[in-house]
Structure 1
Amino acid sequence: MSLYFLIVLFITFAASGLQYSVLGSVWPIVYRDFGVALSLVGYVNMIIAAGRVVASVYTDRLVGKYGTHKVASFGFVLICLGLFGYANCRSYAMLCIISIPLGFGEDFFLCSINTFSALHLRAKYANWLNMVWSLGATAGPYIMSLCLAGGAAWNAGYLVLALIQTGVLLLFLSSRGKWKEIPSVEVCSPGTRKKPMREAIRLKGMPVMVAALFCYTAIETTSALWASSYITIRKGLPDDVGALGTTFLFFGMTVGRFASGFISDRLGDKRMMHIGQALIAAGSLALFLLSGRTAVLASMAVLGFGCAPVFPCFIHYVPQVFGIGDTGSAVSLLMGSSQLATLLMPIAFGWIADLGGMGLYPFFQIFFAAVMMAALVYQRKHAMA
C-alpha cells in the first residue's frame, strides 16, 4: 500500500465521523427551536439506524459486485447530501426525512472500509484507523460549538461540516487508481460470490458475537446522543459544558485508540476489549458520583477511553472467529445487527428520560459493559470454531 493511499484512507475515515455525535450535542438547542419533546431525538436516531441496518445487510453483496471503492464513495456522497439537508432544515419533519440518506451513507462507507480493515490491516492500524474516526467525532461537536460561540445558528454549523465532507469526498475519489494497485484487495474484488445472510446467521458463535456488539453499540450511541442532556439536566451544568462533554467523550476515545495501537498486537484483541469494558464501567460510575465541570468532563474522557479499543479490536477479532472467507459476510451481519441497538436503545432511554429517569444514564453504560464482557467470555469458552 502506498503512503498516499493510507493518508487518503485515514483522512476519509476521520471525516466520516464528523457528524456522528453532533446532533446529540446540539439537541438541547434544536428541540427548543422546533418546539418538540426532548425524547424525539431518539426517533431521528432510529431513522438513521434503520438506514444503517439496511445498508449493512447489502454492503457485502455490493462490494462483491462493484468493489470497495465504489461502494464507499457512494456512501460518502449520501453523507454529504444528508449534511447539506440538515444545513437547510427548518422543521422536525424535515429533519426526519433528511436523516434517511445519512443513515444509508454512513454504513455503506463504514461497513465496506471496516471489512477491508479487518482483512488487510494489522491490529495497530485498525486501532489507529478507528482512532482518526474518533478524532473526527471529537472535532464535529467542537466545530459546531465554535459556530454557536460565534453567533451562528446550528444550521450554519452543519453547512460547515457539509463543505468539509465535500472536499474530503473529492480527495477519496482521487484515490480510485490506488485501490486497483493493492493485490490483497482481490479478496473483495467485484464478482466474488458472497455468503448469503441466512447462512452467515448460522455461523458458529454468531449469536454471541451479535449480542456483544449490540451491547457496545448501545453504550456508544446512548452516550453520543444523551450524555450532553444528562450533563445539563441532571448535573445542572451550562449547555456549553454539555456539548464539551460529548467532545471529551470522543477525545478520550481518540487518545485511547492512539495508545491501543501500540499495545494491541502484544495484548491481543480479547484482552484489549476486557480492559475497555472495565474502564467504561469506571467512567460511568465516576460520572454518577462526581459533580462539577472538571470532574464531569474527566469522567466523560475516561468513558471514551474505555470505549476506545472495543470496536476496532472486535472487528479485527472477527476473522479469528469465523475465518477469512466468511469475514465480509460476518462483518456486514454484525454491523447490521448492532444497528438495532442504535435504533432501539436511545429511544428506550428517551422514554425513561421523559419519565424523569435521566439519572439512570450511567447505569445503562455499566449494565451493557458487564453483559458484553460476559458474552465475550462465553464466546471464548463455548462458541469458537
Structure 2
Amino acid sequence: MMATLFLIIIYLAFISLGIPDSLLGAAWPMMRPDLGVSFGYAGILSMIVAGGTIVSSLASGSLVQRIGTGRLTLISCCLTAGALLGFGWAPSVAWLAVLAIPLGLGGGAIDAALNHYVADNYKAHHMNWLHCFWGVGATAGPIIMSFYMAEHNSWREGYTAVALIQFSLVAILLITLPLWKRVAAIRESKQIGNQVPPAQAEAESKASSGSLSKNVLRIRGVKPSLAAFLIYCGAESLVGLWGASYLAGARNIAAETAALWISLYYGGITVGRLVTGFITLKVRNTVLIRWGQIVAVAGGVILLLPNPSFMLAGLILIGLGLAPIYPGLLHETPARFGRENAARLMGFQMAVAYTGTTFLPPLFGVLAMRTDISVLPAIFLILMTVMLLSAEKVNRILHNHSASAQK
C-alpha cells in the first residue's frame, strides 16, 4: 500500500513538471500582441527556460545527495509554482525573461531527480508511465489556457490558474515528505536482507553488460545515440512551442482553438505512453522506438496536406509516434552501453536532450521570422528523418559489435 501511494506521489510530481512545458506555446498567439513584442520572443523565453533546466539537471546529482530526492522535488515544485504565478502578473516581456529562470531551474531538477530515481528503483513500464504523467500535465496545460482565452479573453488568468494547481501539488508533496524517508528505510532493509556473498557479487559484476569506460563518448554507438536525444527533444519542443502559432498563422485557426488542439498533441503523447507501458511487457524497446519514429513522420506528412481538417489528426499522430521514443531510449541505456557506464551516460543524455530543447525551437523562430511559419511541418520531417537515421545507426553498430564478439 505504501509503495503504491509513493508511486502516485512521484507521478503527481511529474504532472507538475508537464503543466508548464506546454503553456507558453499555447498562449503565445494571444500573449504576443498583448505584450507588443515580435514573433520570435517566444523562442528567447523558451531558451531561457531550457537553459535553466540544463543547469539544474547537471547539479541534481549532488543536490540529491545533500538534501534527498523528496526535498529537491518539493523545492523545485515551489520554484515552478512561484514562477507561473509571476507569469500571470508580469507587466512586460522582460519580467517574463526573469521569471523563466526559476521556471527552468525547478523543472530541470524535478526531471533529472525523478528519472534517476525511477530508473534505479522501478521497472521499464514504470518509466513509460512516469513520462505518461508528464503528458497528463502537458495536456492539461493548454486545455486550461484555452478555456481562459476563450471565456475570459485572458492568458494571464490561465497562468494564474495553473499556478494555483501547482501550489496544491506543493502542499501534497509537503504533507507526504516523511514518506520518502520511510520508503528509503524499507528499501535499505530489503537490500541488506538480499545481500549476496562477495564471490557471487564479483561474478555478477563481471557478467554485467559492458565494462567501465573512462571516456563514455568513445563507446560504440554513443555519439549517434546522443544525436537522437538532441533531435527528439528539439522536435517535441518545436511542435509544442510553435504548433499553435502554425495553426493560427498558416491555417487561420482561432487562437483558443489552436491552443486546444495543441493539448490534443500532448494528449497523443500521454495516451501513447500509457499504452506503451503495457506493450513493453511483450515488445522490445528498439522496435517501439523505430515504429514511433515512423508514425511521427506520417503525422508530419499529414500536416503538409492543404486541407485544414487533417491538421488535428496529424498532430495527434505525431504525439502518438513520439510517445515511446524518449522513455525507450532512456531505458535502453544500460543494455546498450553497460550498467557501469549508465549513470554517467544518463547525465550526458539529459544534458544533450535539454540542449535540443534550448536551441532548436528558438532557431526555428528565427527561421520563421525570415521565411514563414508554414515551414514547420517540413522542418519537423527533416529532424525526424535525421533522428531515424541516427537511431538506426546505433542499432547497426551494436548489432555488428555483438555479432563480431560471438565469433
Does the 8 Å CA contact 1:60/1:329 hold for their aligned counterparts? Answer: no
Q: CA deviation at 1:260?
A: 0.7
Q: CA deviation at 1:15?
A: 2.3
d(CA) in 2 for partners of 1:174 and 1:372? 42
Question: What count of residue pairs does the alignment treat as equivalent?
Answer: 374
The one-letter amino acid of 1:305's match is L
Q: CA deviation at 1:150?
A: 2.2
Alignment TM-score, normalising by the size of structure 1? 0.91
CA deviation map 1:223-264 (0-9, x unaligned): 110011111111122212211221111011111111111111
Alignment TM-score, normalising by the size of structure 2? 0.87
After superposition, the Cα gap between the structure-2 partners of 1:263 and 1:289, relative to the gap in structure 1 and judged at 3 Å, is: same
- 4+ residue runs of structure 1 moved beyond 6 angstroms? none
Matched, 1:274 2:315: no
Match for 1:241 among 257, 260, 266? 257
CA deviation map 1:268-325 (0-9, x unaligned): 1111111110111000100111422x42111111111111111111111222234444
Match for residue 50 of structure 2? Answer: 49
Does the 8 Å CA contact 2:13/2:73 hold for their aligned counterparts? Answer: no
**What percentage of aligned pairs have identical amino acids?**
29
The one-letter amino acid of 2:331's match is H
Match for residue 289 of structure 1? Answer: 305
Q: Note the residue ranges of structure 1 that are not aligned, 5 or more in a row.
A: 187-197
Does the 8 Å CA contact 2:220/2:397 hold for their aligned counterparts? Answer: no
Matched, 1:351 2:366: yes
The one-letter amino acid of 2:326's match is F
Does the 8 Å CA contact 1:235/1:291 hold for their aligned counterparts? Answer: no
d(CA) in 2 for partners of 1:200 and 1:208? 13
CA deviation map 1:160-188 (0-9, x unaligned): 111111111121233333323245589xx
Q: CA deviation at 1:105?
A: 0.6
Match for residue 192 of structure 1? Answer: none
Q: CA deviation at 1:88?
A: 1.2
Match for residue 191 of structure 1? Answer: none
The one-letter amino acid of 2:40's match is S
After superposition, the Cα gap between the structure-2 partners of 1:323 and 1:66, relative to the gap in structure 1 and judged at 3 Å, is: farther
1:101-116 to structure 2, matched below 5 A, reads 101-116=102-117
The one-letter amino acid of 2:229's match is L
d(CA) in 2 for partners of 1:366 and 1:57? 30
- Alpha-carbon RMSD across the aligned residues, in angstroms, is 2.1
The one-letter amino acid of 1:297's match is L
d(CA) in 2 for partners of 1:155 and 1:240? 14
After superposition, the Cα gap between the structure-2 partners of 1:70 and 1:59, relative to the gap in structure 1 and judged at 3 Å, is: same
SS at match of 1:265: coil
Query: Which structure would you say has the larger Rg?
Result: 2
Match for residue 77 of structure 1? Answer: 78
Does the 8 Å CA contact 1:60/1:328 hold for their aligned counterparts? Answer: no
After superposition, the Cα gap between the structure-2 partners of 1:200 and 1:185, relative to the gap in structure 1 and judged at 3 Å, is: farther
Q: CA deviation at 1:126?
A: 1.3
Matched, 1:331 2:346: yes
Does the 8 Å CA contact 1:209/1:375 hold for their aligned counterparts? Answer: yes
Which stretch shows the higher mean deviation, 89-98 or 353-362? 353-362
SS at match of 2:248: helix
d(CA) in 2 for partners of 1:128 and 1:249? 17
Matched, 1:38 2:53: no
Matched, 1:306 2:321: yes
Matched, 1:262 2:263: no
d(CA) in 2 for partners of 1:2 and 1:240? 40
SS at match of 2:116: helix
The one-letter amino acid of 1:251's match is G
